[in-house]
Amino acid sequence: MRPPTRNFVLFASLCGASVAAYFWFALRMPESKYTPPPEASNAAGAGFSVEVLRRAPHLYYRSARKDEFGKVVIAALAAPEEARVVTQVSCERLYMDRRGGLCLAYDRGALVPNFRAHLLTPELTTSSTLPTAGFPSRARLSRNGSYAAITVFTTGDSYDSDFSTRTNLIDRSTAQAMPDLEQYTVLKDDQVFKHVDFNFWGVTFFDDTHFYATLGTRERTYLVTGDASTRTLRVLREDIECPSVSPDGKHIAFKRRAANPAVTHLHVLDTQTWNEAPLTAETRHVDDQVEWLDDTHVLYAVVDPGKTPEAALNLWLTSITDGGPPRLFVRGATSPSIVR
């Protein structure tokens, strides 16, 4: 061997040996700073069963805790930290009602990113599966459960991309995806409003076929109201993102960009008077589409960026009326849905 080749072979062997050594240790110590262990345990739910929990008001959420990362948890509203059962279903986003629900999932083991929307039965088994176009963002159900609404990011995973979302309704009875919201007719001041850069996200239903959502175009956001049966959308107001309508339909909680455009704060809109007010009790950056615990309390995830995933993600509860500070509702949880 010529000396340069000998040096290279030595160097390559050194690289190979180091990698082999690393993997030898890594395989023996499966814990890494990002690793959720593959097996979830039911230990936390000892003494409770899904059937018992489902009889009283309960909530579903996606766990971010270390030994159950990504698993769907069902918990009693009265004692969400104690009375809980960890299921074996994994979702990135989920939304449930009494008839079952919607689970946006991602197959981590697949060679190419593999995004799916599963329609779930009340027993959390999959009744049908539809492909989706990208990273899950939002999941909601209509009031009587006829439709499911999903929002996904379509280009966030590519090199030369900007923000782009796709929002579809799914007819739950036939398990068919309907045309995405970009195919709907949009009216603004009774004129047809159309632009190629339309993005829709954050659907929230106020009855079984009518909903609110966000329309984003040319750096602006609008609150729109839509009708699933006629496939029309109407622009209501400007500068409203990720609406969520209260159970009684009287309030819409939403996000609005602060002076620092990387930060969004929660606001509440009264649907009778159309008055808006910031939710001053919550001063942190909230990126979630909120869920309503009841007609006066909002529930949402806050990310603490400086912490590890299991410590960073928590559900917080704030009253829209009494001005009291936010209260930690469930630790290590996202994507809540309340079933009353």
Partner 1 sequence: MNTTIDTILEPASLPRKLSLTRIVYPISLKPLLVLLRGGAARRHTTTALSANVWALGMTSLLTDVSTEMVTSALPLLLVFHLHASPAALGAVDALQQGAVGLARLLGGLQADASRNYKRTAAAGYLLSALCRVGFILSTLPAHFALFLSVDRLGKGIRTGPRDALLALSAPPEQQARAFGVHRTLDTAGAMLGPLVTYLVLRVLPGNYTSIFVLSLAFAALGVGVLLTYATDPAESPAEPSLSARGDLVRLLSDRRVRRLALVATLLGVTALGDHVLYVLLQRRFGLAPDMLPLLYVATPAAYMVLAYPVGWLADNYSRRQVLCLGYCALLCAYLVTLLELPLWLGVGSMVTLLGLHYAATDGVLMALGSACLPRAAQATGLAALATTNSLGRLIGSLAFGLLWSRTSEVMAVVLFALGAAIGIAVCFWLLSHRFSPALSGSCAPPNS
Q: What is the DSSP string of 176-207?
A: EEPPPGGGSEEEETTEE---TT-EEEEEEESS
Based on the shown chain and the rule CB under 8 A, indicate whether residue 247 belongs to the binding site for partner 1: no
Q: Which residues of 29-43 are buried (b: 16+ CB within 10 A; e: fewer)?
A: eeeeeeebeeebeee
Nearer to partner 1, 3 or 47 (CB): 3
Based on the shown chain and the rule CB under 8 A, indicate whether residue 160 belongs to the binding site for partner 1: yes
Based on the shown chain and the rule CB under 8 A, indicate whether residue 288 belongs to the binding site for partner 1: no
Q: Are 308 and 318 in contact (CB under 8 A)?
A: no
Based on the shown chain and the rule CB under 8 A, indicate whether residue 202 belongs to the binding site for partner 1: no
How many residues sit in the footprint of partner 1 (CB under 8 A)? 58
User: What are the residues facing 220 on neighbouring strands?
Assistant: 217
Based on the shown chain and the rule CB under 8 A, indicate whether residue 24 belongs to the binding site for partner 1: no
Phi, psi of 261 (to 5 degrees): -65, -10
Q: Which stretch binds partner 1 (CB under 8 A): 39-47, 96-104, 129-137, 316-324?
A: 129-137
Phi, psi of 103 (to 5 degrees): -130, 120
Phi, psi of 176 (to 5 degrees): -110, 140
Question: Using CB atoms within 10 A of its CB, is residue 124 exposed (0-12), middle (13-18) or buried (19+)?
Answer: buried
Based on the shown chain and the rule CB under 8 A, indicate whether residue 197 belongs to the binding site for partner 1: yes
- Measured from the CB of residue 34, what is the shortest distance to partner 1 in angstroms? 5
Nearer to partner 1, 12 or 78 (CB): 12
Based on the shown chain and the rule CB under 8 A, indicate whether residue 4 belongs to the binding site for partner 1: yes
Based on the shown chain and the rule CB under 8 A, indicate whether residue 113 belongs to the binding site for partner 1: yes
Among residues 42, 126, 155, 319, which is the contact residue for partner 1, using CB under 8 A?
155
Q: Which stretch binds partner 1 (CB under 8 A): 49-57, 73-81, 150-158, 265-273?
A: 150-158
Structure tokens at 163: 């923000």
Based on the shown chain and the rule CB under 8 A, indicate whether residue 311 belongs to the binding site for partner 1: no
Integer CA distances (angstroms), 155 to 136, 165, 197, in order = 12, 8, 13
Among residues 46, 109, 190, 272, which is the contact residue for partner 1, using CB under 8 A?
109
Q: Which stretch binds partner 1 (CB under 8 A): 101-109, 143-151, 228-236, 274-282?
A: 101-109
Full 3-state SS string of 230-261: CCEEEEEEECCEEEEECCCCCEEEEEEECCCC
Nearer to partner 1, 123 or 157 (CB): 157
Nearer to partner 1, 66 or 99 (CB): 66
Collect all residues with Cβ–Cβ distance below 8 Å to 165 and sequence separation of at least 6: 137, 151, 152, 153, 154, 199, 200, 201, 216
Report the chain's C-alpha Rg in angstroms: 23
Based on the shown chain and the rule CB under 8 A, indicate whether residue 26 belongs to the binding site for partner 1: yes
By the criterion CB under 8 A, which residues form the site for partner 1?
A: 4-5, 7-8, 11-12, 15-16, 18-19, 22-23, 26-27, 30, 32-36, 38, 92, 106, 108-115, 131-135, 153-163, 195-197, 287, 303, 305-306, 308-309, 312-313
